[in-house]
């Protein structure tokens, strides 16, 4: 897959490919690209696509699994995210696996990771993420 090449050569934070066609790219950090993908792209188009992303935590994995993607490559993935993909028969490859995704200053959990810790309902999670992004 040339998904890694696209991710690194173009310096995207996220890229979505289906049938060799790039459907979506983003330079945004954090959960925003996945939130935008969820809200801006037809879900039938996303189904069976491949995602390249820099960091994938539990919330991202829940959203992407719900979108019925076929596979994902991530630079950094949390154990929870990996388990979600495996349980949903989504192909996964990654550079590094960690227990949890930390915030940017490495002083605690990423806010979205914290938010998703005890939440498995994608709709509730999306609502909470929307509130979080609006407050940024």
Q: What is the DSSP string of 88-136?
A: TT-EEEEEEEESSPBPTTSSSB-HHHHHHTT---HHHHHHHHHHHHHH-
Q: Is the pLDDT of residue 54 over 90?
A: yes
Q: Is the pLDDT of residue 1 over 70?
A: no
User: What are the tens digits of pLDDT across the range 66-104?
Assistant: 999 999 999 999 999 999 999 999 999 999 999 999 999
Q: What is the pTM of this model?
A: 0.95
Which pLDDT does position 122 carry in this prediction? 96
């Amino acid at each position: 897959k040339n998904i890694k090449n696209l991710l690194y050569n173009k310096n995207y934070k996220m890229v979505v490919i289906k049938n060799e066609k790039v459907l979506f790219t983003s330079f945004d950090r954090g959960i925003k690209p996945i939130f935008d993908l969820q809200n801006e792209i037809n879900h039938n188009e996303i189904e069976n696509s491949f995602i390249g992303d820099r960091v994938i935590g539990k919330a991202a994995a829940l959203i992407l699994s719900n979108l019925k993607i076929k596979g994902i490559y991530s630079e950094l993935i949390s154990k929870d995210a990996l388990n979600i993909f495996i349980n949903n028969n989504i192909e996964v490859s990654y550079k590094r696996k960690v227990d949890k995704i930390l915030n940017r200053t490495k002083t605690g959990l990423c806010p979205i990771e914290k938010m998703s810790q005890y939440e498995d309902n994608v709709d509730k999670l999306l609502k909470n993420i929307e509130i979080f992004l609006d407050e940024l």
